[in-house]
Amino acid sequence: MKNCAVILAGGQGKRMKSNKPKALCEVLFKPMIDWTIDAAGDAEVDDICVVTGHLHEMLEEHLAGKTKTAFQAERLGTGHAVMQAVDFIEEFKGGNTLILNGDCPLMDGDTIQNALSYHERHGNAVTVISANVENPFGYGRIIRDAGGFLKEIVEEKDATPKQRAINEVNSGAYWFKTDVLLDTLSKITNKNKQHEYYLTDCIEIAIQNGLQTSAFTAQNPDVVLGANDRIQLLDLNDKLRYKFLQEQMLAGVDIPCSEGIIIGPDVEIGTDTRILPGTVLLGDTKIGKNCIIGPNSYLTDTVVGNDVVLDNVVAEQSKVGSGCDLGPFVHLRPCSQIGKEVHIGNFVEIKNSTIDNGTKVSHLTYVGDSDLGKNINMGCGCVTVNFDGQKKHRTVIGDGTFIGCNTNLISPVKLGKFAYTAAGSTIYEDVPDYTLAIARNRQENKVGWVKKKNKIRNME
C-alpha cells in the first residue's frame, strides 16, 4: 500500500506584493513550499504532486526534479485544485492521500505522521488535522456533534455567528483514503457563498455516506498558521526561528541573547558553544564544541572544529580547524580550508586557499588562490597578487616562512620553507628555502636637505 501527498500551491498571494507565486515566498530563507515538501517527506509519503496556478512556470522550474506538478488554470477552490491532480492520485488507489496547503510552513512531519497513525488506528476514511487557536478568524471551523464526532467544516464566510465562536479550526491538512477522496471529489459542487469547489465538502459527503471520519487535534496550534502578507510572514519567521533556537539550546548550545540570531534547521552545533547576537548560520554548517561564534557572524555551508572563536566573520563553503581564532572582520570566501590553531585577524580576506596549522595572518591581508604551510607569519597588509588580468594563479608558501609587512606576492610564485621577505617587497621570483628576499629600492638619506632648501613645515 502506497501513500501520496498533494500540496495546494496555486494561489497568488496578492497581499505579499511579490513578483513570485506565494508558495515561493520565504520563511527562514527557504520557500514556504519547500517547508511543506520536507514535512511530507518526513512523513514518508511515496510521491508528491504540487498543484500550481499563478505564475506556475516559476514554481514548476523550482520544483523540477523534486516533485510532480499539476497545473490549475483557474483558481476555483481547494476541491478544484485537488481535482487537477486526479491522474496522479489514481496511481495510489488502495492507499492514503495526504493533502497539504503550500502556504502553511509550520505544519511538521511529526504532526502529519501522528495524524496518519491515528487515521489508520481508527480505520478512518478521512482524518482532518485541526487545532485550537486563540483567533479562529478566517479559518474553516470544525463542527462536532453532541457526541464530539466530526459533523462538518464550515468556512468563515458561510458560518453562523455561533459557529464563528468555535476555536477549533481546520488546518487544511488531511489524510484521505485515496479511494474515498477520488469518489467524493467527483461529487462536490460550487454551491456556496464563494462559488468555489471546497475540498471540505468531500468530508461532508463522506460523513453523509456513513464513513468513519474524525478530526485529529494537533498539539501545537501553530501548525495551522499561514501567511497572506509580509507581516504574517515575519510572524512565521519568528516562530520557526525560535523553534530552532530552542532545539539548539536543549542540545547544549549557549545563546545568552537571541537578538538577530538565525540558525537553519540543518545546522549542527556542539555543546557549550556560545552563539552571540547578529549571527546567521545556514545550510550544512557544522560547528564543534566550546566555540564562540559571533557577534555578527554569517556562516553558510561551513564546517568549524572545536574551541574556535569567530568574531564578525563571514564564511562560505569553508572549513576552519580546531583552536582557530578569526576576526574581528574576516571574510572566508568559498573553498578556504583553515588548519588548526590558525589566527586570522582584522580585515583579512581569504579565498580558495589552504592555510596549515599554526599560521598567523593578522591584519589587512588578502590571501587568494594560495597554499600556506605551517607556522607562517604573514605581516600586515600583504597581498597575494593572484590575477594577471586574464588568469588566476597560485601562490605557495613553505612552513615557517616570514612574510614582511606590505609584501606583494606576484603569482605564480613559490616561497620555500623558513624563508623571509623584507617589508615592502614585491616578490615575483621564487624564493628558495632559508633565504631572505629583498625586492625594494635601497633607501638614500639626504642629510640637512630640509634646512638647506628651507622646507621646515609650519606646524601652526
Closest among 217, 216, 227, 225 to 243, alpha carbons compared? 225
Q: Which CB sits closer to ligand UD1, 172 or 323? A: 172
221 binds ligand UD1 (CB under 6 A): no
Contact between 139 and ligand UD1 by CB under 6 A: the answer reads yes
Please list every residue from 190 through 209 that binds ligand UD1, using CB under 6 A: 198-200
Kindly report each contact of residues 231-237 with a partner whose C-beta sits within 8 Å and lies 24 or more positions away, as own/partner: 233/16, 233/25, 233/27, 236/27, 236/105, 236/106, 237/27, 237/28
How many separate helices (H) and strands (E) can be counted in the chain?
Answer: 10, 40
Q: Which residues contact 382 (CB under 8 A, 6 or more apart)?
A: 361, 365, 366, 367, 403, 405, 406, 407, 408, 409
Cα distances from 431 to residues 246, 387, 434, 437, in angstroms, run: 54, 20, 9, 7
Does residue number 213 form part of the binding site for ligand UD1 (CB under 6 A)? no
Q: Site size for ligand UD1, by CB under 6 A?
A: 29
> Grid coordinates representing 430?
621564487
For residues 261 to 290, the per-residue mask of contacts with ligand UD1, x marking binding by CB under 6 A and - elsewhere, is ------------------------------
Candidates 165-173, 204-212, 339-347, 354-362; binding stretch for ligand UD1 (CB under 6 A) = 165-173
169 binds, among ligand UD1, Ca ion, none (CB under 5 to 8 A by kind): ligand UD1
Nearer to ligand UD1, 98 or 304 (CB): 98
Q: How many CB atoms lie within 10 A of CB 190?
A: 14
Question: Contact between 130 and ligand UD1 (CB under 6 A)?
Answer: no
Nearer to ligand UD1, 226 or 379 (CB): 226
Contacts with Ca ion, 212-251, as mask; x by CB under 5 A: --------------x-------------------------
Task: Tell how strand 402-403 and strand 303-304 pair up.
Answer: unpaired
Q: Are 404 and 436 in contact (CB under 8 A)?
A: no
Instruction: Report in angstroms how near the CB of residue 153 gets to ligand UD1 at its nearest.
Output: 5
Position of cell 460550487? Answer: 190
Rg from Cα positions in the chain: 31
Of 62, 331, 363, 393, the catalytic one is 363
Segment interacting with ligand UD1 (CB under 6 A) among 70-78, 278-286, 294-302, 441-449: 70-78
Contact stretch for ligand UD1 (CB under 6 A) within 108-116, 170-178, 263-271, 347-355: 170-178
Which residue of 67, 72, 359, 406 would you call a contact of ligand UD1, by CB under 6 A? 72
How far, in Å, CA of 203 to CA of 128, rounded? 9
* CB closer to ligand UD1, 78 vs 111: 78
Q: Which is nearer to Ca ion, 101 or 375 (CB)?
A: 101
Let me know how long the chain is: 460
Q: Which does 154 bind (CB under 5 to 8 A by kind): Ca ion, ligand UD1, none?
A: none
51 near ligand UD1, rule: CB under 6 A: yes
Q: From the list ligand UD1, Ca ion, none, which binds 56 (C-beta under 5 to 8 Å, kind-based)?
A: none
Residue with cell string 516562530: 239
Kindly tell me the sign of the dihedral angle through the C-alpha atoms of 32, 37, 41, 44: positive
Q: Binding segment for ligand UD1 among 98-106, 204-212, 238-246, 340-348 (CB under 6 A)?
A: 98-106
Asked whether position 76 contacts ligand UD1 by CB under 6 A, the answer is yes
> How far, CA to CA in Å, does 83 sit from each of 51, 154, 335?
9, 21, 48
User: In 3D, which of 70, 81, 36 has the Cα closest to residue 199?
Assistant: 81
* Structure-block grid coordinates of residue 39: 514535512
Pick 133 or 423: Cβ nearer ligand UD1: 133
**Nearest residue to 12 (alpha-carbon basis) of 49, 60, 59:** 59
Whether 363 is a known active-site residue: answer yes
- Which residue numbers are catalytic? 363
Residues that bind Ca ion (CB under 5 A): 226
Residues that bind ligand UD1 (CB under 6 A): 8-11, 51, 53, 72, 75-78, 80-81, 101-104, 139-140, 153, 155, 169-172, 198-200, 226
